[in-house]
């Protein structure tokens, strides 16, 4: 939709910089269900700021904490893609889906150069906590709904490779194999 594996206890000044490392497929942190965020504090605010900066630097519209190696139920998103950024923060989100499955081509910052058609429900309602500690609810039936679903998948350890059609899997087989080989050889990419 790219901090060491599940190292959530870092000091704020360790994570509050413009570009965090985005972990790439098949890093194990991307394949596991994230744990709930337990508190909203200065450390979390610094992490969110760094995530937003990283998302924009990577030309993304969303970024989940597992993508930067932090296995927590948190993502940031700005699906509007306008000159006036309006990032949103979703802490411990829950999502309700409805409507017909609609195909749409998706990419992922953790799987660069791979774009696949993913079928998702057309309407998403998300309930989450913001940085102010208040719960909020949003509903969308357009691009934002797709971004929320994609980022929510990251919190459950689901990637677009898990949602690929057999045709897309065949088309991207070589790229994914090369990414696995690079990961196993220690070339994690950034």
Question: Domains (ranges, CATH) in the chain?
Answer: 12-184 (3.90.45.10)
Q: What is the CA radius of gyration of the chain?
A: 16
The predicted pLDDT at position 17 comes to 45
Residue 56 confidence (pLDDT) above 90: yes
Q: What is the mean pLDDT of the chain?
A: 90
Catalytic residue among 38, 43, 151, 178: 151
**Can you read off the two tokens belonging to residue 147?**
């971004």
**Can you read off the two tokens belonging to residue 85?**
């950024």
Exposure class string for 47-74: b at 16+ Cβ within 10 A, else e = bbbbbbbbbbebebbbbbbbbbbbbbbb
The yes-or-no answer on residue 184 being catalytic is: no
- Write down the pTM of the prediction: 0.88
Contacts of 6 (CB under 8 A, 6+ apart): 29, 69, 70, 71
pLDDT digits (tens, 9 = 90+) for 15-25: 444 469 999 99
Alpha-carbon 170 to chain mean position:
24
């Amino acid at each position: 939709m790219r901090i060491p594996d599940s190292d959530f206890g870092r000091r704020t000044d360790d994570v509050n910089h413009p570009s965090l490392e985005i972990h790439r497929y098949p890093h194990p942190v991307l394949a596991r269900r994230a744990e709930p965020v337990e508190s909203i504090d200065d450390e979390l605010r610094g992490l969110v700021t760094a995530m937003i900066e990283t998302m924009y630097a990577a030309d993304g519209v969303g970024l989940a904490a597992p993508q930067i190696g932090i296995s927590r139920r948190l993502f940031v998103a700005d699906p509007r893609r306008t000159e006036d950024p309006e990032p949103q923060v979703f802490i411990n989100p829950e999502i309700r889906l409805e409507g017909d499955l609609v195909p749409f081509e998706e990419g992922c910052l953790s799987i660069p150069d791979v774009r696949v058609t993913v079928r998702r429900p057309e309407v998403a309602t998300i309930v989450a906590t913001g940085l102010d500690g208040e719960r909020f609810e949003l509903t969308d039936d357009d691009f934002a709904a797709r971004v929320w679903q994609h980022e929510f998948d990251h919190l459950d350890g689901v990637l677009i490779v898990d949602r690929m059609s057999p045709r897309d899997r065949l088309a991207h087989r070589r790229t994914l194999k090369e990414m696995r080989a690079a990961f196993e050889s220690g070339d994690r990419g950034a």
